[in-house]
Amino acid sequence: MGKLVTEMLKGTLEGIVLAILGRRPAYGYEITAWLRDRGFSDIAEGTVYALLVRIEQRGLVDVRKVPSEKGPPRKVYSLNAQGREYLEEFWQTWSFLAERLEQLRKEGPQT
């Protein structure tokens, strides 16, 4: 989609992935496909994997290896208690930002 989205994703992609994991456990390849499906057409695979490593190291998710019939074993991530807490914080921060931006847009030129 372009540079604009790329920059905006910094800081939000993490929340997006956590939100996905908040619904049900998932593995990297699956998450990437899901994102592409939803319009994030050019999210790099490497980006998602790197992000997963990060949130794992921060202790926001639990991991377990699950054999696949079609390739190497999958690393299935699931949101733990700490992750849910962090996701809650993320939504609050997002609301803060979204509200202010919506207001700016509403006000428009000359206010």
Partner DNA sequence: TCGGCTATTCGGTGTTGCTAGGTACTGGTA
Partner DNA sequence: TACCAGTACCTAGCAACACCGAATAGCCGA
Binding-site ranges for DNA (CB under 7 A): 5-7, 9-14, 27-30, 42-47, 49-54, 68-76
Q: Which does 62 bind (CB under 5 to 8 A by kind): DNA, its own copies, none?
A: none
CB of 7 to its own copies, least distance (A): 3
Q: Which residues, including other chains, have CB under 8 Å from residue 52's CB and lie 6 or more apart?
A: 17, 28, 31, 61, 75, 77
DSSP 8-state assignment for residue 76? E
Of 55, 54, 60, 20, nearest in space to 36 by CA: 20
**Choosing among DNA, its own copies, none, which partner's interface includes residue 27 (Cβ < 5 to 8 Å by kind)?**
DNA
Closest CB 103 distance from DNA, rounded Å = 18
- Footprint (CB under 8 A) of its own copies, residues 2-21: 2, 4-12, 14-16, 19-20
Question: Who contacts 24 (Cβ-Cβ below 8 Å, separation ≥6)?
Answer: 78
Q: Which residues pair with 77 in a beta bridge?
A: 26, 63
Return the DSSP state at 95: H
User: Quick one: 50 or 98, whose CB is closer to its own copies?
Assistant: 98
Piece of the chain touching its own copies by CB under 8 A; list 42-50, 52-60, 67-75, 97-105: 97-105
